[in-house]
Amino acid sequence: MTVSFTLNGRARSFSGDPRASLLEVLRDTYRLTGAKEVCGEGFCGACMVRIDGHPATACLVPMGTLEGSDLRTIEGIGTEEELNPVQQAFVDFDVVQCGMCFPGMVMTLTHFMKDNPQPTREDVKSALTGNICRCTGYERIIDAVMSLSGAAQPVTEAQP
């Protein structure tokens, strides 16, 4: 069984075990290691990617369900020259500590800010209920996101 999909804008097909998780395949087959393997239960959000535009924990998605899907990972939402606005805010507010959670945080928050350009801090906290920061750096993460609230430029993505 071959599964065909788009990964960060490139057509791909996968012919390994279709029961394998998307996370395993991203990391082991495509060497996209931005999505982290941490809890493996969908609680921590460190493996957050986007499937057909919506955030999903890659650890819980079997490859066989992805035929025709449009997949985007942290490697596919900005370039070194042009970070996505959430990434840039994370740099500007010195958010990143150990580095385990922030790719997932960026994936969740990029999607969230597109739908909620002027959130309250409470809205941001609700949006982050599936992303755990083991360094407990939440307040700065929220500060960074709030700096984008009502920004003249809506949160969109560079297409590498």
| Interaction of residue 24 with other proteins, rule CB under 8 A | no
Q: Does residue 73 bind other proteins (CB under 8 A)?
A: no
Q: Which of 14, 27, 35, 45 binds other proteins (CB under 8 A)?
A: 45
Q: Quick one: 24 or 88, whose CB is closer to other proteins?
A: 24
Residue from 11, 13, 31, 54 in contact with other proteins (CB under 8 A):
54
User: Which SS3 state, helix, strand or coil, does residue 141 take?
Assistant: helix
CA distance 132 to 63: 25
User: In the bound complex, what is the minimum distance in angstroms from residue 61's beta carbon to other proteins?
Assistant: 6
31 near other proteins, rule: CB under 8 A: no
Counting contacts by CB under 8 A, is residue 151 touching other proteins? no
If phi > 0 it is left, if psi is from -120 to 50 it is alpha, else beta; for residue 44 that is alpha
Q: Is residue 103 near other proteins by the rule CB under 8 A?
A: no
**Should residue 74 be labelled a site residue for other proteins when binding is judged by CB under 8 A?**
no
141 contacts other proteins (rule: CB under 8 A): no
Query: Smallest Cα–Cα separation from 76: which of 13, 21, 28, 34?
Result: 34
Chosen residue from 35, 46, 61, 133 binding other proteins by CB under 8 A? 61
SS (H, E, C) 92-135: HCCCCCCCCCHHHHHHHHHHHHHHCCCCCHHHHHHHCCCCCCCC
